[in-house]
């Protein structure tokens, strides 16, 4: 499939306050001269990112302060996407919850599910509907995770939510064939971000991918309209091993980086 031309086009980036979303917005402006429409919950972070994009790359950038969990937030995003005739979307907003699975974490699990599954699904449906009405071709990449390709002890709800994302995008990539709307999922392993710092990993940053490098892979997948993309040779080998080895062994190996409760 030919690359999607996004120079001087608006591109939606959710989860842009920090981490992969923030790095991806910078990469869009720096390499493609695309105009990021950045979404997040933290206005101060978004203002800082907007100022940096304008100062470094002289590229327009607009802000939407919205929470993907809230219907008002999703409606606000969809309305602005329509107004600006946004051409592509990187859906990087997501939450995690790390630690042993127990009832005391019910509120945290609800937030993960509301963000990564319920809010994500509704926003995605709105974007697909908008893009299908446009005359030009478009692309949507949802950030999933290698955690969605196998079970992940001590981050089980997060992994399950990302399995949902990957499977949904695989189905939609077939369903939307021929419509001009390309969709896919992007499945990195651990990334050196604030989210990884919340995961209570035994080995710190060891094995985590640099966020800027990961963002370059994510935007490449968006522009080249990949239906499924895994960044980095190490992550791809991990994925292949997870398919070749017994699932019970893969789950035990996936638990190794996490600190076990005392």
Q: 33 and 219 in contact (C-beta within 8 Å)?
A: no
CA distances (Å), origin 56, targets 26, 31, 132, 153: 9, 12, 33, 42
CA 212 to chain centre: 14
- 150: DSSP letter: S
Contacts 24+ apart (CB under 8 A), 48-53: 49/16, 49/17, 49/22, 49/25, 52/26, 53/25, 53/26, 53/29
Q: 21 and 14 in contact (C-beta within 8 Å)?
A: yes
- Closest among 120, 225, 226, 217 to 168, alpha carbons compared: 120
- 164 catalytic per annotation: no
Q: Which residues pair with 258 in a beta bridge?
A: 201
- How buried is residue 220: exposed, middle or buried, by Cβ count under 10 Å (0-12/13-18/19+)? middle
- Closest among 223, 247, 232 to 31, alpha carbons compared: 223
Which of 109, 158, 164, 258 is catalytic? The answer is 158
Q: Which residues are catalytic?
A: 158
């Amino acid at each position: 499939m030919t690359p999607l031309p996004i120079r001087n086009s608006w591109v939606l980036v959710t989860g842009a306050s920090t981490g992969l979303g923030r790095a991806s917005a910078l990469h869009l402006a720096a390499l493609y001269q695309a105009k990021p429409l950045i979404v997040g919950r933290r206005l101060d972070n978004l203002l800082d990112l907007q100022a940096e994009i304008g100062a470094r790359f002289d590229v327009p950038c607009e802000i939407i302060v919205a929470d993907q969990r809230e219907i008002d937030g999703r409606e606000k995003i969809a309305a602005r996407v329509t107004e600006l005739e946004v051409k592509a979307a990187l859906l990087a907003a997501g939450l995690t919850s790390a630690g042993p699975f127990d009832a005391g974490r019910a509120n945290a699990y609800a937030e993960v599910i509301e963000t990564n599954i319920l809010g994500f699904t509704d926003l995605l449906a709105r974007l697909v509907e908008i893009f299908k009405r446009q005359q030009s071709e478009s692309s949507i990449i949802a950030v999933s995770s290698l955690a969605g390709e196998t079970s992940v002890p001590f981050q089980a709800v997060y992994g399950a939510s990302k399995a949902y994302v990957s499977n949904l995008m695989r189905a939609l990539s077939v369903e939307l064939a021929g419509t001009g709307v390309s969709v896919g999922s992007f499945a990195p392993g651990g990334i050196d971000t604030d989210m990884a710092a919340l995961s209570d990993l035994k080995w710190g940053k060891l094995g985590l991918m640099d966020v800027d490098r990961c963002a370059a892979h994510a935007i490449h997948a968006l522009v080249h309209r990949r239906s499924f993309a895994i960044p980095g040779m190490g992550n791809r080998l991990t994925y292949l091993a997870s398919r070749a080895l017994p699932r019970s062994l893969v789950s035990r190996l996936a638990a190794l980086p996490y600190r076990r409760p005392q």
